[in-house]
Each structure stands twice: as C-alpha cells, then as structure tokens.
Chains A and B, each alone.
Chain A
Amino acid sequence: MIIQIIVSVGALLVLIGLWGLLTRRNLIKMIIGFSIMDTGTHLIIVGLGYREGATAPILDSSITPGTHFVDPIPSALVLTAIVIGLAVTALMLAYAVRLYSSRGSALIEDFKENAL
C-alpha cells in the first residue's frame, strides 16, 4: 500500500513538474518544474525499492538473522541520480543567468531567434 502511495505521489510530482515546464514561461520556474520532476522520479525509484516492514540495508551488530532489508540497489541508483540532477539543474541555471544577461528578460519566448 505504501509503495502505491509513494509511487503515485512521485508520478504526480513528475506531472506537476512537467506542467510547470510546459506552461511557466519564466526560465527559473521552468527549471523549478524540472527539478520537481526530478524529485518525483527519485521518489518513484526509492518507492520501488521499499519493502513493507524492512530495514535499511546496513549490517551492524543489531541485525539478527532473518531481518528483511529494503532493496539497496534503488537507493544506490537514486544517489547517483540526485547528484546528476543537481549537476543538470546547476547548468540550467547557469544558462538562465547568461540568457538573462543577454536579453534582460527571463521569459522563454524571448529566446527564439533561431527559428527558421
């Protein structure tokens, strides 16, 4: 049940972010939309690794045989994805800054000079 909720929330976040990307015309808001999509995706990934009643995959002395663990692989994937997401977001923002300084505007429709 929890997995369903998590994945649903993640999917909704992806949709909300997508909506932002498609309708917000300010570059910053578009980037916010993208980063919300990212967060939603991460949530879906972690949700898929979760198992009801399982514990974190860290084996210390408190672990007794037969303990259920959550799937460690999605966690590992998400770690990578989060860092990559940050990298992309930062680069997008750098672009936005440069675009703004070139035009004095942050609206996406002001940057369509090369339509041919």
Chain B
Amino acid sequence: MNPLIALAVLMGTAFTMPLFEKAGLKPARLIFLAALTLLLVISGGILVNLLNGAPDLEVATAGFKAPFSINFRIGLAEAAVWSAAALVLLIGGSYMIHREEDGMYDRMLYLVLALGVTGLILTRDLFNLFVFLEISSIAVYGLIGRGGERSLQAGFKYMIAGGISSILFLIGTVFLYRLTGTLNIDGMAAAAGSGSLAGTVGASAVFILAISMLIELKPFPANGWALDAYQEAPSGIGALLSSAQASAVFIAFTKISPLFGDRLAAVLGGIGMLTFFFANLMGMRQKDEKRMFGYSSTGQIGLVIFAWFAVRGTGMPETAAWFIVGGLLLTHLFAKAGLFWLSGLADKSKGEGGNGFLHKVLPSALAGIFVMSLLALPPFPSFFAKMELVKLLVTGGSWWILTALFLGSLFEAAYLFTWLVKKTKAECTDGGADTVNGDSLVVGKRAGPDILTDSPAAEVSSLLKSSTSLWVVIPALALGGLSAAWAYMAGVFNVIAMAPFAAALLMLLLAFLPGRVRGFLAVLVSAAAAWWIWPRTEGIDQIFAMLFLGGGSLNLFAGLYRKDRRPGFWAFSLMTVLSLGALVLARTPLEIFMAWEVMSVGAVLIALQGKRAAGPARTGMLFALGGGYLLMTVLMSIGTTTVLSPAVAAILVVIAFLSKSGALGLHVWVPGSYAEADNDATSLLSSVISKAGIWAMMIFSIRILPGIYGLDGPELWLQAFNSGPFSFLSGILGWIGVLTALVATIVAVFQEDIKYTLAWSSISQLGYIILAFSLFDHFGWTAAIYLSINHFLFKAMLFLAITGVIYRVKTRLMYKMGGLIAPMPITFITVLIAIIALAGVPPLSGFGGKWLVYSALIQGGRPVQAALAMFSSGIAFLYLYRLIHSIFLGQRKDDSLGIKEAPFWLILPQIVLIALIMLISAFPTVILKPIIAAVGELMPAVIGFEGSTLMSAIGYWNGSWVMYVTMGVFMIPLVLLLIGTGRKTRKVKQFNIVFAAERPYRPETTHYAHNFFAPYRKALGSLMNPLGRKFWEGSAGGVTAVSSAFRRLYTGNGQTYALHIVLFTMAAALFAGVFA
C-alpha cells in the first residue's frame, strides 16, 4: 500500500468537494467520510504489515531517490500514530458532519487538516515538513474561527504565534541546508554526525528549528494563544487540535531531534517537564472545561516531550523508548479526543433541552475511562509508560524532576477528577437535607433523570437517538486495545492481573440487567475467587486473602438489599475486591503496584457512589495517588540499591500505607469518604479494604524491602527496625498509631452523624493495629493480625446494622433516632455484640485483641504507649454507649413509627458475623493458631500455645475460659433478674413520655441525645482541633494561590503572547548556550 495514495485521495477529495456539494449534501458527506475511511484503511494496513514484521516502509516521490526527491518513511511509531490519528479524524469527521451551516468549507478544511497531519507524520524532508506544518496550521486557523465571535480572537492569536514559529522554522531550515547541502532529515543527521553543524551557525540554526517546532507544541509559558484556542474552538476542533494535530507535530519533532546536541536536548526536556508542571498547576483554577482540557493537553504533550528526551539520553533501544513515549502519546491522543467530544455532546444535549446526560451509565463510563487513562492509572498504556519513566528517573537519581512529575500529576488528577465527578454525578438538590456544621447529611433527591430511576430501555434508546455519541465509544475501545497491548509488553497480561478490569468492564456492560442479578453475579465471582485463592496462598497471605475475599463476598452480599441498578457500585466493588486478591497473589513489583493502584482507586470509586461523596472522594483520590507515587518510587528502585537508602525507602513505603490506613495526619480523606459512601459500601471500605495497608506494610517489611536491599534476609531487616538503625522508625510509627487511636476516638465521641462516629472509630481502630504492627515482633504482629480480623468482624456488623437503620429511618443523625430496639431487635443484638467486641471487654473476641496489644506493648518495652492505648479504649466507651443509647433505647420518634426490621439481605450477613465472632470468642485458637504460626514463619516466635492457652513471657490467656466465666457471671444475674423482677415492673408504651405536655419541635434544643457529651466536649474539645485538615487545606490553598499568580501571565492579549514567545525563545537560547 502506498501512503501517497491516501495523500492523493485526501487532496483530490478536498479539491473537488465543491462539485460534490453541488450534487447534494448526501453525496458530499458520503465522499467526505469515504476519504477519511480510506485514510484509516491505508494507515491501518501499513500498521498491520509493520506489526507482522515488515521492514520500515520507504516511499520516494517523483521517481527519484532521496535526497533528490522528497521521501516518506514509515516505521512502527509513525504507523501507529498515523493510524490513531486517522481513527480520530474519521470519528471527528462523523462527529462534525452534522453541522449544516457552511458544511462545505468545514469539510474542505477538515480534509486539508487530515492531509497536513498525514504529511507531518510521514515526511522525511525538512522543507516538506514546513509545508505540511503550514497546511495543518492553515486548516486549523480556519476551523478555530468557527466557534463564534470569541473564537475569532483566539484564532488570530493562534495565527500570530504560528506565524512567528514558521518564520523561525524557515530560517533554521535554510541555514541547515546551506551547512549540510541537503534537506533530507536523515542526510542532515548524518552530516551533523560528521561535524557539519559544529559551528555557531549550525548551533543557532538547529536551535531556532527546535524552538519553532517546540512553540507549535505549546510550551509553558509561551502557550497562552493555544489555551485560548482550546477554549474557544468548537469541541470537535479542540479534539483534533489536542489529539491528532499535536501528536503529528510531536512525531515531526522527534524526527528532527537527532540534530539536537545534548545540551539543547536537556533544555528541551526541561521545558517539557516545566510545561507539564505549570500547565497542570494552572489547570486547577479553570472554570471553563475546554480551557481546562487545554491545560491538560499542553501538560500531557509537555510530559511526552520530556519523556522523549529522557529516554533519548539513556540510549535505550527504540522499542523500549516508544513503549514509554508512545504509551503516553497514544493514551493522550485517544483520551483527550474522547473528552472533548463528550464535553461537546453534553453541551449539545444541554442546548437541546437535555441536561447534559453525562451521568448516564455509558457516557460516564466513557468519561471515567478517558480521565483515568490520562491520570496514568492501570491498565492504560500511560500507566505502564509512566512506570518506566519513573524507573528512569529513580535510577538516574533525578529527584527534583520526579517531584515535579508527581506534583504535576496530582494537580492534573485534582482537576480532571473534579470535572469527572461534577459531570457524571447527578446534582443533588438540598431539599429536606439535614445539615450540621455545614455538612449536609442526608440523602437529597437528585434532579432530573437519573441512573437510579431511568429505565435501561429508555437510556439505550436515548443513546441510539444521537448516533454520534456512539462514536465516542471507539476511542475508549482503542484505549482498551492499547491497554492489552501494553500490558502484554509489560508482561502482566495474565488472568490474575487483568481480572479486576475484566470484572469491572463486565459489570458495566451488564448495566442493563437488574441490580440484584448483577449483585448475585458479583457475590459469586468474589466467592469463587476466594475459593480459588485459598489453596494458592499460605501464611499471612492466606489469612489476609480470606479476610479480603471472604469479607468482600459477605459485604457484597449485603449490598443486595438495594433493588436499584447501582452500576458503579457493583462494578467498582467487584473490581476492588478482586484487586485485593490480585494484590495478595502479586509477585513482581509491577504486579504489586498495579494491584495496589487498582485497589486504592477502586476504593475511591466505591466511595464516590454516595450521593454527596464528591468532595471526600476527591481528597481520597489525591491521597491514593500520592501514596501510590511514593510506592512507585520505591518499587521502581528495585535493582538499584544505591539510589534510595533503606531508611528512606522504608519511610516512603510507610507513608504510602499509612495514608491508605488513614493514620493521623494522613487521615483527612477517611471520615468523609466513609461517611458519604453508600452505607453498605462503607462497610466494605472500612471492614475489608482498609486492611490492605496493614498487609502491605507487613509484606513490604518482611519480603519486598529485604528483597531490594538484601540485608541478609528478613530477620536482620526486622532487627534493624526493632533494635537496629531503624528503631526510631518503629518508635515513631508506634506513636502515630497510638495518637491516631486516641484522637480519633475522642473525635468519634462528639459526632452527631452515626456514620461519622463509626468512620472515626475505624480510624482509631486502625491506630491500634498500626501500634501493634510497629512492634516488629512476633507478638506485635500476631496482635495486629488478630485485631485486623476482629475489626473486620465488628465493624462490618456495625456498618451493616447501621445500614439497615438508616435505610429504615432515613436519617443519619443519632438524635433523630431512638427506641429502635422494638422494631429492629436483630439489628439491636448485632450492634450490642459488636459494641462489646469493640470495647474489648470480656467475653468477646475484642478482649483477646486488647489483651494481645497491651501484652505485646509491655513486652516490647512501650509502657507509655500501652497506657495511652488503654486510656483511649476507655474513651471509646463513650461513643459506644451513645451509639446504642441514642439509636435503640429511649423514646421512638414520630418519623420511625411504622418501620420494620432491616431487610433480609442485611440481616443474614450480620448473623453470619455474629456466629463468627461468637466462634472466635469461644475458641480463639481457631484463628490465633494459624496467625501465630504464620507470623512465626516470618520471625522468631515468642508466643505459643499450650493446649488452648496462649502463652507469652508475661502472662497467658485462655479465651475459652474467659468466655465461660464471663458467660456465667453474666447469665446468673440475668436469670435472677428475669425470675425475680418480672412481675413487679410495669410495661409502658414507648410513647408514654411527654415533655410537659408539649412536643418539642426542634430536637436540638431539648433532645437528650443531641450534643450528647457536652461536658466532655468542654474538656476535650481542644483535641478536636483539625490540625491535619488545616495543614492539607493550607497546602491546597497555597497551591491555588501560586496557580492564580501564574495565571496572570495569560493576559489574553495576542501581542503579549507574541512577546512571551520571543522572550521564551531568548531564555531557551540562554540555557541552550546558543549565545556563547
């Protein structure tokens, strides 16, 4: 296949478009799409040939070989980008074909743009490159101005910038010709190799050529014109500008980059990274969504430029280089095009009286895919590419660049995720919502049509009605295909690693099925995974795998209580649960990180399903990503023990996992995410997913870090933590744990919202686990694992019970509940048992947990921490008491007169959990023995069993006996009470209490359950000072302030932008040493 035919067809069609228009609209459109299809067919055919191992395609024109004539060369990179661009052009063509007014001019310019893009990618002649650059530019100039009056201004600024750039390009080209005697790029590179460009003229010519191409790629700060263009151009044009055109120019840029010297390459790479950082910094302050995408686009292209020069410096083989650069570029190409189209379609739907429609399942799934791929999350190519890039930076020790990369990525995540959430979640109206301290607490009604209320059939038909929106599926499919390819190349294209994505995709595809059908499917898959994993794991892996998958299945089952479709909940819950399984099974650093990333993002997405979870979920996302970056840094340093000292690696890892577990200071995302997630989802998050951090900390300190640093095996490594050089770390960790436990408990006491109470309670319980973990010995870790399991049991019980309560009484405020013991007895029993277990009093399993922690702490020589932990356990009684008192005891409210017990789906898991907790309480050896054995495999055992008695150096504990004794102590008075007093008490109706013959209207003022612990609040309130939140909010405020300051650069004046370009060129020349 000759690519010149594609060129000829595009040109011929463009030239004759007026004739076809004369023949009618239909033939014109048909021929227009046919030409674009042919472009795709030819480029795709060439790509397939090359993939099948054909040599690079070399095409000469005019019957003469290069350098006598202009030649094309198509390698794999060119073919891939060309086909991708052709695909985007075809979709874009069908996207804009519906615009009637002046359609002919649009189509002509569009075909010329396709021509320019093609030429830019293929040509190997420098001046020909200039011609194609001008072709695509002029087409773009013409198309930008189609967006209304303000787009004219943007177009003019674009032209000024393009004009300066093309003059620089011309001067550079002709001097390069004079010096090398050829216009063929390869010939020039060869001549440069033999020293033709050594002098100052050569250096200057190469420099201005490079800068002229760079300007076309919109570097910071010389890119104000481009942002205006992104903002004002029609979204169909913005899509192409950002994807196909930018990628083509980038490919052209890579072609001339062999001419650049090392210093120039370094400067250009640095500019790329600066662009990435600042574009994303400023993207955070954007209100206009197209301008925001524009910032993201310039940032992404900056990153690609940086990556290109970073890999170029290492001399890695071309395929490895394109694995990184191509992964980033192609992801950007499809994702950004898709985002622009989606945004345009949503606008269009709004314009037609719809309400934007992005909160429908399919469009929001698409938007999610595009955003997630831009954020370099697995399994998208950008993820693998970024991993490799980070590896380069880590092994090179480029810490500053790495920091800029991570910060820029976080900025980008902040605004893209916010956009995604804002667009895909239906708006809440505040009607009837309760608010306390500005936090709205209850379920508002959603405005407009809704995924919960729309029938599947209605949705499908509304999608089919606008056939254009279906086209937007194609970039998502392309991203999927690329993901598979990249995963395959990275060596993780296997069942385990891919299962979470497959599950999520399946669940989304089945979104048309009723919710419970998919729910059952999810439970089955999750249970099957648990079944499958059991024999394939051992030791603590097995214990945690069962906690993750078994607990996950149980929680998923509880989710069946809701009848609605819940597309997101089922997809992301199943994905997250499976990714926990993948995490346990993962062995290579890449697998571990991938599963970790899916799990932590999945958790955020689960939380996001709650109606008011947008804000907390965003915070959670940023913490998940930030923690992930730290983890990535450590994992990517594997194999190069010199770049990161073991202590630094340990600190990074610990921070990453503590942010997952919500330790004090890194906890700010937890309360909101837990509280605002769907009620049953909170149970999954708190009881199951939060343990991932604990498992990971153990595995990293026992298996992975020793693997990296090889400190003669895990024992010595542990010793280093225990009594060696890192012992300060374990001490700090212990303090973090104990403070987390203490402060979170106190905060929990003063919450009015039941879910916030339990969320803070979760944080404090995780604090205990961290505290136990920090001992780094057999006893401590046994306690940590035991506590994890215990926490899973009672926290799942509590959250599921509360789910039932909220489902029935429709409020989360405790003082609005009361007296529920009568209608919801089973729920009451669940809560009672869970509270006993949580409090750590005999006879239930919580006692064993507390005993283990305190004993381990005392044995580990930490009496102060033990004392503080005990103190906070005491405080925990306060909120536990309030919990049962406010909800189940006392007077029943008017609103909850007719309610029933919680649905079966919620009760059944609770009963299972009660049974489990009873079992463990009565026979703690059932789980303690495996735990002690599992931990004993990792480190020297200090505790063990004699019969069913746990022996340690400072005491012993026999759970069964504790149970029997306590039961006895408890039962005997109860029986006596029942026998002795039954007759004397008078039963009163729950509503026999009246407040002085008056029904209080505002319960806040009179209700006993409101502001329950006011006196304690006076005493302890100062501890609630949200220092952590203030710190993070302050950081965010600082970032936005900097962002606003930089934004002033963009005055909107085209002349200023031109000035920026010239000054930018000058500064680059200074750094590149051209003046010397």
Contact = CB atoms under 8 A, between A and B. Distances in A.
Q: Does B bind A? A: yes
Interface of A: 14, 18, 21-23, 25, 27, 30, 34, 37-38, 41, 44-45, 48, 73-74, 77, 80-81, 84, 87-88, 91-92, 95-96, 98-99, 102, 108-109, 111-116
A59 to B, nearest CB: 18
Contact of A108 (B154, B164, B1054): B1054
B1051 interface: yes
Contacts of A74: 174, 177
Contacts of A108: 1053-1055
Nearest to B1053: A112
A115 B1050 contact: yes
B167 A38 contact: yes
A42 to B, nearest CB: 8
A98 B1052 contact: no
A116 B1050 contact: yes
A74 B465 CA distance: 56
Interface string B915-950: 000000000000000000000000000000000000
B1052 A112 contact: yes
Contacts of A116: 231, 286-288, 291, 1047, 1050
Given A22-B1058, A77-B127, A95 B149 contact: no
29 contacts: A14-B167, A18-B164, A21-B160, A22-B1055, A22-B1059, A25-B1055, A27-B156, A34-B163, A37-B163, A41-B167, A45-B174, A74-B177, A88-B134, A88-B162, A91-B142, A95-B141, A95-B152, A98-B145, A98-B152, A99-B153, A109-B1053, A111-B1052, A111-B1054, A112-B153, A114-B150, A114-B232, A114-B1052, A115-B1051, A116-B286
A41 B1052 CA distance: 28
Contacts of A14: 167, 171
Contacts of A21: 160, 163-164, 1055, 1058
B652 interface: no
A44 to B, nearest CB: 6
A53 B547 CA distance: 90
Contacts of A115: 224, 228, 1050-1053
Could you tell me the dominant secondary structure of chain A's interface residues? helix
Nearest to B1049: A115
B424 to A, nearest CB: 24
Interface string B1024-1056: 000000000000000000000001001111110
A13 B1047 CA distance: 34
Contacts of A25: 1055
Interface in B142-187: 142, 145, 149-150, 152-156, 159-160, 162-164, 166-167, 170-171, 173-175, 177-178, 183
A51 B50 CA distance: 45
A11 to B, nearest CB: 9
A102 to B, nearest CB: 5
A73 B160 contact: no
Given A25-B1055, A109-B1053, A95 B155 contact: yes
Contacts of B170: 41, 45, 81
B1051 A84 contact: no
A30 B1053 CA distance: 13
Could you tell me the dominant secondary structure of chain B's interface residues? helix
Contacts of A34: 160, 163
B197 to A, nearest CB: 15
Residue from B150, B166, B231 whose CB has the most chain A CB atoms within 10 Å: B166
A95 B231 contact: no
Given A87-B138, A113-B150, A115-B1052, A41 B156 contact: no
| The 3 A-B residue pairs with the shortest CB-CB distance in the complex, in nearest-first order | A115-B1052, A112-B1052, A111-B153
Contact of A95 (B134, B145, B177, B224): B145
A23 B1056 CA distance: 9
Nearest to B295: A116
Given A22-B1055, A22-B1059, A73-B177, A30 B160 contact: yes
Contacts of A81: 170
Interface in B217-240: 224, 228, 231-232
Nearest to B182: A73
Contact of B156 (A44, A73, A99): A99
A48 B141 contact: no
Given A21-B164, A91-B138, A115-B1051, A73 B183 contact: yes
B846 to A, nearest CB: 55
Contacts of B178: 48
Given A108-B1054, A113-B153, A116-B287, A88 B160 contact: no
Nearest to B141: A91
A91 B1050 CA distance: 24
B829 interface: no
Given A21-B164, A88-B138, A109-B1055, 4 more contacts: A18-B1062, A44-B171, A84-B134, A99-B153
A30 B1055 contact: yes
A38 B168 CA distance: 10
Contacts of A80: 127, 131
Contact of B159 (A22, A38, A95): A95
Interface in B448-480: none
A14 to B, nearest CB: 7
A15 B1072 CA distance: 22
Nearest to B1047: A116
Interface in B183-206: 183
A14 B156 CA distance: 20
Nearest to A73: B177
B181 to A, nearest CB: 9
Contacts of B155: 95
A73 B69 CA distance: 12
Nearest to A18: B1062
Residue from A34, A99, A111, A113 whose CB has the most chain B CB atoms within 10 Å: A111
